[in-house]
Every structure is written in structure tokens, then in C-alpha cells.
């Protein structure tokens, strides 16, 4: 390999790694949620982006009592009576500023109690984890989700 080709290859590889790292610093992807009390994996949430807005839905549940027939009985909006699997629980999230804060007035639903919270999400550890914080007024609850492979 010539000196010139070596640097072209090195530059291309460096750029590719940088872009891959940047791509992971977004909430887009599939995440495992962890139960606050038992610390066991509870569900998988798939977050997608469309026109700069993130939405997320439950794609898999690890809870024994949740199956295809389980519906969101406590939901108060258009999701009431809809199956938990496939349910949109994140809506309207947008990136705020130049940092990795994702909020923009977005909401997150807790399908176990039907409550909807204002949400803020921040990728951590090079995008391997996602801090998800739901707010009602000055009160909040924080979870850390793990990216699936």
C-alpha cells in the first residue's frame, strides 16, 4: 500500500468511526427498560425518528402477565383500550440545543397507571444507555434504559 493510499484509508476509517459514534448518541434504536423495584428487564421500546420528531413504542414485554390481548385500561386518550404491545408510549420528542438533550415538549406514557409525563432523554456512555426522566410539575422520576444489540 502506498503512503497516499494508507492515509486515504486511515481518513475514511476515522470518519466512519466518528459518524458511527455520533449516530449512537441519539435515542433512536431499541431499548430495554428496567423495573424500578426488581431491577429486572421489563420491556423493549423501539424509538424512531420521523421529520426530526421521535416516537417510541413497546415492541416486547418481559412481564408474564402481558400478552397480545393485554390492553391499556388506564390510558385516558386515544390509547385507551389499545394493546400494550405496539403501544406508542413516547410522542413528540425533539432535540433541544446543540447538546444531546431530547425533550421539546415530548411526552411519555406509563401504561401501568395511564399517567402521561413530560419527558427529557439524554444518551449516556456513548449511546449505550439512555437516561429517561418523566416530569409532572416539579416532580420527576428517572430511569436508565439499556440499548439492545
Walk along the chain (149 residues) in steps of 10 and give the mean pLDDT of each run: 52 44 76 91 97 96 86 95 96 88 95 95 96 95 94
pTM, two decimal places:
0.81
Domain for residue 141, yes or no? Answer: yes
Residue 2 has a pLDDT of 60
CA gap 121, 144 in Å, rounded: 10
Closest-CA residue to 103 (of 147, 148, 149, 140): 140
State the residue range of the domain holding 89: 27-147
2 in any annotated domain: no
Domain count, the chain: 1
CB count, 10 Å around CB of 149? 5
Give the per-residue pLDDT at 97. 78
pLDDT score for 9: 52
Give the chain's end-to-end CA distance (angstroms, integer).
35
Amino acid at each position: 500500500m502506498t503512503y497516499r493510499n494508507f492515509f486515504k484509508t486511515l481518513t475514511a476509517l476515522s470518519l466512519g468511526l466518528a459518524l458511527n459514534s455520533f449516530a449512537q448518541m441519539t435515542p433512536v434504536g431499541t431499548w430495554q427498560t428496567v423495573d424500578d423495584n426488581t431491577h429486572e428487564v421489563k420491556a423493549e421500546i423501539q424509538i424512531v425518528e420521523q421529520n426530526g420528531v421521535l416516537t417510541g413504542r413497546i415492541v416486547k414485554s418481559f412481564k408474564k402477565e402481558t400478552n397480545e390481548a393485554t390492553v391499556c385500561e388506564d390510558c385516558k386518550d386515544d390509547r385507551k383500550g389499545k394493546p400494550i404491545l405496539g403501544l406508542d408510549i413516547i410522542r413528540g420528542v425533539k432535540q433541544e440545543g446543540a447538546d444531546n438533550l431530547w425533550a421539546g415538549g415530548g411526552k411519555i406514557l406509563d401504561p401501568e397507571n395511564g399517567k402521561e409525563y413530560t419527558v427529557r432523554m439524554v444518551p449516556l456512555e456513548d449511546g449505550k444507555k439512555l437516561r429517561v426522566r418523566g416530569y409532572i410539575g416539579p416532580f420527576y422520576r428517572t430511569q436508565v434504559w439499556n440499548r439492545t444489540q
